Chains A and B, each alone.
Chain A
Amino acid sequence: MDRGPWWATFNGLHRVRHDLRNLACIHTPIPRNYDPTLHPFEVPREYIRALNATKLERVFAKPFLASLDGHRDGVNCLAKNPKSLATVLSGACDGEVKIWNLTRRKCIRTIQAHEGFVRGICTRFCGTSFFTVGDDKTVKQWKMDGPSCGEEEEPLHTILGKTVYTGIDHHWKEAVFATCGQQVDIWDEQRTNPICSMTWGFDSISSVKFNPVETFLLGSCASDRNIVLYDMRQATPLKKVILDMRTNTICWNPMEAFIFTAANEDYNLYTFDMRALDTPVMVHMDHVSAVLDVDYSPTGREFVSASFDKSIRIFPVDKSRSREVYHTKRMQHVICVKWTADSKYIMCGSDEMNIRLWKANASEKLGVLTSREKAATDYNQKLKEKFQYHPHIKRISRHRHLPKSIYSQIQEQRIMKEARRRKELNRIKHSKPGSVQMVSEKKKHIVAVVK
């Protein structure tokens, strides 16, 4: 549009001028006329830019980074090191624990920790040691650093329990950890007996998690379809909510003390405010099989869920539909998933013995960005946000390729859901007005809240 004076059209001069402008942008702004009449068609132009940005995003969406192989059985649990981004721990179904270096994408240490499954693994808040529980009814504490030359690989402490422990989590600030099995036990690291045991009901508890913000709170989920909250200080359970089906695990939001998300067998995830358990804040549905694990992004805005349907999905906390789905041909049932502490990557461990590393934002450029690149990505992001409701852009940004099994199951479930809805409507239509109430999706899956 503004080519400048005639001499500026010379190739060289033009280039020089261009460079100058770029330089000047950094140091002194070149005066520019923002009169809107000089720059017409702003909406169509920005729309086209947004469309292009969306297309480019899909073009550059290559989330898969690496596969860490080395386990000889399905990966059953994962843990992050709270002090090191590059270190990841994994426990397999054959009792083996491996420590990985993510930057080198290599296993740096292997421990035969248990006989049978490694049911749970967690790191100490200081990152110097970690705990494992296994099918052999033991809790073991290990040093994070490998044994020095000549030493044997041995646990720091071993606690022999009476029953099988199915999960473990460490307190976020103190030398306390919690195990679950038939009851929730709170252990002092220094003692061989639990300082406190809490129970409510008689079924086995599958997972226990400390609240990262208000650290005296715990959440657990049991096989009798309930989620129980505990208070460690008062040594008492707080409340229990019973859902339609069993909850496999829960995860607390690291930025919002009272929010947690439960991964359920009924293909859904439920985000609860722990003060009001009778209605979940959001029901997240997109999976087509049981959800096995969930982990929050450290930003607290999103979480990732691993499912039996061989895919992992990323959900925004306030949206009921996932924004992203990751799958590969070789990835089987995903058992565990973790979001790294810098919020950039996602790891998932699956049945077929591999740990996979993904980008949290599929099309994000890794590495150091120049300021201009950063500005461009910011602008593009905002454009995509602004025009996200426009049908073409929506279609392109939502389009994902899915494996046939998942795709057909989604179709099937859509039909089933529609049928159920129709039936409900019919029932309302043909019964006495007011006698049959429409139950909202959020309320539908909650059986009861027990005080």
Chain B
Amino acid sequence: MSANQAAESNLLASNQQKELEDLPKDCLLSTSEDEGDSDGERTHQKLLESISSLNGKDRQKLAERSEASLKVSEFNVSSEGSGEKLVLSDLLEPVKTSSSWAAVKKQLNRVKSKKTVELPLHREEIERIHREVAFNKSSQILSKWDTVVLKNRQAEQLVLPLSKPPSAFAPIEHVVSSWKAGTPLEQEIFNLLHKNKQPVIDPLLTPVEKASLKAMSLEEVKMRRAELQRARALQSYYEARARRQKRIKSKKYHRILKKGKAKQALNNFENPAAALEELKKLDKARMMERMSLKHQNSGKWAKSKAIMAKYDLEARQAVQEQLARNKELTQKVRAASESEEEEEGQEEEEEPLVPDMVNGVQIKANGLNPWMLRNHFSDAKEAEVQKDLKDPAEPEAQETSEIEEERAVVEEETLLKEFEERRSLRQKSELNHMAEPVYRRVTKDPSSQEVLSELRALSQKLITENHQSGKQERSSARTAQREEPAREEEEPVLLQRPERAQTLDELEGLGREGCVENKELPRTAVEGLQLEKNLSNHIGAPKEKKRKEQMIDLQNLLTTKSPSMTSLAVPMTVQELEDREEKDQWHMTKEAFAGDDVITDFLKEKREAVEACKPKDLDLTLPGWGEWGGMGLRPSAKKRRQFLMKAPEGPPRKDKNLPNVFINEKRNIHAAAHQVQVLPHPFTHHQQFKRTIQTPIGSTWNTQGALQKLTMPKVVTKPGHIIKPIKAEDVGYRSSSRSDLSVVQRNPKRLSIHHKKTSGE
């Protein structure tokens, strides 16, 4: 700074010097005027001299100076009146007495107060000063960014770009207006457009279109639009629904849907015209079927299924189903007026057409799917089967009656029923294990023990009766049906042990809660069985025998599944049941770890580890030193004692007083490989570091909000957005209104100096 000031003072001094140089002329003038009157003689003399000096020689003479000159003086002091001798007393006199000296004195004083002007600074020095000043100035300007920079560096999150960019998409009109057709082709296109008066600005409508728009009244347009909207909404709704329905994977659902449609078609029969249509459709379907033989078990799939059918129940069913479908389709459709009896007659006629050996199952000729029948009318069919067993000679009458009943049931209902059944079955299989303890509870209930024994005897009888009933004939279907529930109970009995079977019967008798479930439990198996039976029916093999075989089979199967059931104690209540389960769990674990004694193992392990950790004694005896050595000779006990270095006792173990705990005091090398060895840089204390590591940030330990805060990225950028350099406006500063260019152009003087300088170099 001091240098700068010096420079400035220098500049000032040089300026003043110029002023001084300007001064003397004025001085001269003033003095000559002042002295005009008093020194008239002297001026006259002067004049004469000057005239004489016009002569060349004299002028020469005048120019030369021998003493302090008349006109010129170093300090611009004019020495007018030098003809007289200047006496000191004159100088000492006060200034006012002689006005003629005032000017001189003034000048003298001025000269006295001034020092000599210093030399101007070297150019480089000046430049240096300029630079320094400029640098300080710009540093000052830059330092306003300090807070912003610091804030941005420490920010939790920096979202870039800082300022919201204006929408980059210009409206089409602007783009079009600024664009001009360049190529001939483009020009041609534009010509065409202009010819059609196609406007290029919004709204892009030709005059014709505008006119047509105007032609429609507002109300009309509104109505039309509303209509269109509604239609569109409806369409989209239907589309969505159709899509949704199409996406449903359940085959059954679709089957139901189809059936529903079929029913609808049937309903259509009420209307004669529609009925005709439907009939035609059916006829066509029949023709197609007969032509294509699509469902004749002749396809690839059907053949493969036929092979599988021998072993696989489901495959067999599928084949059946297909055949039934064929039958259904190829059936000739009649007018609705025809009676049922005739239909039945027809059925009976058709029946022998179906090859029994192929189908396996007796196909009901009433058009219903036999597979479905079997499944959904299991009750009815069971009865039927029984009858088949009992009385193969007279199936006809009963069958017909049953068919009548079945027809009464609506198709949908049957399907729903099927669903229900399936569901319950699944649940039951889940509940299986839960239900079983309940049986047991019943069996061992002490209070009902006598009753049970009674019932047991009764049920025993019943079973035997049932067995015998196979040989007996029953007259009416009603009785068979009444018998049916009993049989239904009987089936599971057959599947299980005799004891259990009795209890089940008793359950039925006692009507206890929970028994309802029990009853239904083994139905699936029963159904499977019945199917088997059904199949065997028509082959005509000795039915009783087969049935017994199957019984045995299933028994085997189930008994292997539940080996430890009877051996367990029976809980009294639900809670006890739970307790029991826990106990079971415990027992199971105990059984599982029966072989190994964990506790002793642990103790042993600990003892070994402690031993291993203990410092070892060091034996330094060297055999053969100071005594004989060799095979069979050991160093003497004394010597061994002497050279045995006792290891010092280590510090007491941390787990000394904790019998159930084993603290490993050795450092785990494997873990150490994963651990941080040195405190990393930004942390100043290990606690600090530990804390950051121990705070979990995952969603397992943090709420959604906290997670978002914790996992916030440091810098967020928008893909596809240009991030511009930070601006003063972005951070709330006022940017300088002056442009850099204008500032440069305002100092042309200095610039020109610099420019000259540089160009000079």
B722/A236 in contact, CB under 8 A: no
A114 → chain B closest CB, angstroms: 25
Instruction: Please give me the residue from chain A that is nearest to B678 by CB atom.
Output: A389
A215/B726 in contact, CB under 8 A: no
Question: Which of B703, B723, B759 is packed against the most chain A CB atoms within 10 Å?
Answer: B723
Whole-angstrom distance between the alpha carbons of A343 and B159 in the complex? 12
B248 → chain A closest CB, angstroms: 14
Q: Does B97 touch A at the CB level, under 8 Å?
A: no
B145/A213 in contact, CB under 8 A: yes
B694/A216 in contact, CB under 8 A: no
B720/A149 in contact, CB under 8 A: no
Whole-angstrom distance between the alpha carbons of A274 and B680 in the complex? 30
B688 → chain A closest CB, angstroms: 12
Whole-angstrom distance between the alpha carbons of A344 and B719 in the complex? 8
Tally of B interface residues using CB under 8 Å: 75
In the complex, which residues of chain B have a beta carbon less than 8 angstroms from the beta carbon of A198? 754, 758
B744/A299 in contact, CB under 8 A: no
In the complex, which residues of chain B have a beta carbon less than 8 angstroms from the beta carbon of A254? 723-726
Q: Does B132 touch A at the CB level, under 8 Å?
A: yes
Question: Which of B692, B693, B704 is packed against the most chain A CB atoms within 10 Å?
Answer: B693
B743/A233 in contact, CB under 8 A: yes
Whole-angstrom distance between the alpha carbons of A307 and B689 in the complex? 37
Q: Does B143 touch A at the CB level, under 8 Å?
A: yes
In the complex, which residues of chain A have a beta carbon less than 8 angstroms from the beta carbon of B711? 375, 378-379, 381-382
Binary interface encoding of chain A residues 184-222 relative to chain B, with 1 for a CB under 8 A from any of its CBs, else 0: 001010000011111100100000000011111100000
In the complex, which residues of chain B have a beta carbon less than 8 angstroms from the beta carbon of A238? 131, 134-135, 138
Question: Which of B132, B182, B693, B740 is packed against the most chain A CB atoms within 10 Å?
Answer: B740
A85 in contact with B720 given A49-B698, A214-B142, A378-B713 (CB within 8 Å): yes
B744 → chain A closest CB, angstroms: 6
A391/B160 in contact, CB under 8 A: no
- The B611-630 residues at the A interface (CB cut-off 8 A) are none
A389 in contact with B676 given A34-B701, A258-B145, A375-B711 (CB within 8 Å): yes
Instruction: Please give me the residue from chain A that is nearest to B696 by CB atom.
Output: A42
A197/B676 in contact, CB under 8 A: no
Question: Which of B132, B697, B714 is packed against the most chain A CB atoms within 10 Å?
Answer: B697
B701/A39 in contact, CB under 8 A: yes
A301 → chain B closest CB, angstroms: 6
B708 → chain A closest CB, angstroms: 8
In the complex, which residues of chain A have a beta carbon less than 8 angstroms from the beta carbon of B759? 197
Instruction: Please give me the residue from chain A that is nearest to B132 by CB atom.
Output: A451
Instruction: Please give me the residue from chain B that is nearest to A202 by CB atom.
Output: B761
B673/A392 in contact, CB under 8 A: yes
A255/B131 in contact, CB under 8 A: no
Q: Does A175 touch B at the CB level, under 8 Å?
A: yes
Whole-angstrom distance between the alpha carbons of A387 and B149 in the complex? 28
A256/B674 in contact, CB under 8 A: no
Q: Which of A173, A255, A342, A382 contacts B726 (CB 8 A)?
A: A255
In the complex, which residues of chain A have a beta carbon less than 8 angstroms from the beta carbon of B745? 188, 195
Q: Which of B143, B689, B723 contacts A298 (CB 8 A)?
A: B723
Q: Does A426 touch B at the CB level, under 8 Å?
A: no
B725/A255 in contact, CB under 8 A: yes
In the complex, which residues of chain B have a beta carbon less than 8 angstroms from the beta carbon of A194? 755
Binary interface encoding of chain B residues 734-751 relative to chain A, with 1 for a CB under 8 A from any of its CBs, else 0: 000001110111010011
Q: Which of B145, B675, B692, B722 contacts A257 (CB 8 A)?
A: B145
Q: Which of B430, B710, B713, B719 contacts A342 (CB 8 A)?
A: B719
In the complex, which residues of chain B have a beta carbon less than 8 angstroms from the beta carbon of A237? 131
In the complex, which residues of chain A have a beta carbon less than 8 angstroms from the beta carbon of B712? 378
Whole-angstrom distance between the alpha carbons of A102 and B431 in the complex? 65
Binary interface encoding of chain B residues 157-175 relative to chain A, with 1 for a CB under 8 A from any of its CBs, else 0: 0101000000000000000
Q: Does A323 touch B at the CB level, under 8 Å?
A: no
B761/A199 in contact, CB under 8 A: yes
A451/B696 in contact, CB under 8 A: no
Binary interface encoding of chain B residues 667-692 relative to chain A, with 1 for a CB under 8 A from any of its CBs, else 0: 00000011111001000000001001
B142/A258 in contact, CB under 8 A: yes
B557 → chain A closest CB, angstroms: 25
B758/A183 in contact, CB under 8 A: yes
In the complex, which residues of chain B have a beta carbon less than 8 angstroms from the beta carbon of A212? 725
Q: Does B89 touch A at the CB level, under 8 Å?
A: no
Q: Does B721 touch A at the CB level, under 8 Å?
A: yes
Instruction: Please give me the residue from chain A that is nearest to B700 by CB atom.
Output: A39
A390/B701 in contact, CB under 8 A: no
A93 → chain B closest CB, angstroms: 29
Whole-angstrom distance between the alpha carbons of A36 and B141 in the complex? 53
Whole-angstrom distance between the alpha carbons of A238 and B697 in the complex? 49
A46/B717 in contact, CB under 8 A: no
Q: Does A231 touch B at the CB level, under 8 Å?
A: yes
Q: Which of A6, A171, A257 contacts B142 (CB 8 A)?
A: A257
In the complex, which residues of chain B have a beta carbon less than 8 angstroms from the beta carbon of A298? 160, 722-725
Whole-angstrom distance between the alpha carbons of A47 and B689 in the complex? 15
Whole-angstrom distance between the alpha carbons of A143 and B266 in the complex? 80
Whole-angstrom distance between the alpha carbons of A412 and B747 in the complex? 55
In the complex, which residues of chain B have a beta carbon less than 8 angstroms from the beta carbon of A390? 674-676
Q: Does B467 touch A at the CB level, under 8 Å?
A: no
A150 → chain B closest CB, angstroms: 7
Q: Does B512 touch A at the CB level, under 8 Å?
A: no
Instruction: Please give me the residue from chain B that is nearest to A390 by CB atom.
Output: B676
Whole-angstrom distance between the alpha carbons of A329 and B179 in the complex? 45
In the complex, which residues of chain A have a beta carbon less than 8 angstroms from the beta carbon of B180? 148
Q: Does B139 touch A at the CB level, under 8 Å?
A: yes
A278 → chain B closest CB, angstroms: 13
B702/A299 in contact, CB under 8 A: no
In the complex, which residues of chain A have a beta carbon less than 8 angstroms from the beta carbon of B740? 171, 173-174, 176, 215-216, 232-233
Q: Does B130 touch A at the CB level, under 8 Å?
A: yes
In the complex, which residues of chain B have a beta carbon less than 8 angstroms from the beta carbon of A174? 739-741
Q: Does A282 touch B at the CB level, under 8 Å?
A: no
Instruction: Please give me the residue from chain A that is nearest to B690 by CB atom.
Output: A43
Instruction: Please give me the residue from chain B that is nearest to A7 by CB atom.
Output: B430
A255 in contact with B751 given A238-B131, A342-B721, A451-B131 (CB within 8 Å): no
Q: Does A327 touch B at the CB level, under 8 Å?
A: no
Q: Does B152 touch A at the CB level, under 8 Å?
A: yes
Instruction: Please give me the residue from chain B that is nearest to A198 by CB atom.
Output: B754
Instruction: Please give me the residue from chain A that is nearest to B759 by CB atom.
Output: A197
Binary interface encoding of chain B residues 460-481 relative to chain A, with 1 for a CB under 8 A from any of its CBs, else 0: 0000000000000000000000
In the complex, which residues of chain B have a beta carbon less than 8 angstroms from the beta carbon of A42? 694, 696, 698, 700-701
A391 in contact with B677 given A342-B717, A378-B711, A386-B692 (CB within 8 Å): yes
A256 in contact with B741 given A298-B723, A390-B674 (CB within 8 Å): no
Instruction: Please give me the residue from chain A that is nearest to B740 by CB atom.
Output: A216
Q: Does A58 touch B at the CB level, under 8 Å?
A: no
- What are 10 sample pairs from A and B whose C-beta atoms fall under 8 A apart? A42-B700, A194-B755, A213-B725, A217-B138, A236-B134, A256-B145, A299-B717, A341-B723, A343-B717, A386-B692
Closest 6 CB pairs between A and B? A212-B725, A298-B723, A254-B725, A148-B182, A42-B696, A149-B183
Given contacts A171-B741, A258-B145, A386-B692, 11 further A-B contacts (CB under 8 A): A172-B725, A197-B754, A197-B755, A213-B145, A213-B726, A231-B137, A233-B743, A236-B754, A256-B149, A300-B152, A342-B717
* Residues of A near any B CB (own CB < 8 A): 6, 25, 29, 34, 36, 39, 42-43, 45-47, 49, 82-83, 85, 148-150, 171-176, 183, 186, 188, 194-199, 202, 212-217, 229, 231-239, 254-259, 274-275, 298-301, 341-344, 368, 375, 378-379, 381-383, 386-387, 389-392, 451
* Residues of B near any A CB (own CB < 8 A): 127-128, 130-132, 134-135, 137-139, 141-143, 145, 149, 152, 158, 160, 180, 182-184, 430, 673-677, 680, 689, 692-694, 696-704, 707-708, 710-715, 717-727, 739-741, 743-745, 747, 750-751, 754-755, 758-759, 761
